[in-house]
Amino acid sequence: MIAVLVLDCHLYDCHSLKQKRAVIRPILSRLGQVVHMAATETGHHDLWQRAELTIVAVGHERRPLERDLDTALSWLDDQATLDARIVLRGFQ
- Strand pairing of 38-43 and 83-91? unpaired
pTM of the model: 0.84
Q: Could you write out the DSSP letters of every residue in 25-87?
A: HHHHHHHHHHH--EEEEEE-TT-SSEEEEEEEEE-S-HHHHHHHHHHHHHHHHT-TT-EEEEE
pLDDT at res. 41: 95
CB count within 10 Å of CB 6 equals 16
| Residues paired with residue 43 on neighbouring β-strands, in sequence order | 52
Per-residue tens of pLDDT for the chain, all 92 residues: 888 888 888 888 889 999 999 989 988 988 888 878 899 999 999 999 999 999 998 999 999 998 988 888 888 878 766 776 767 666 65
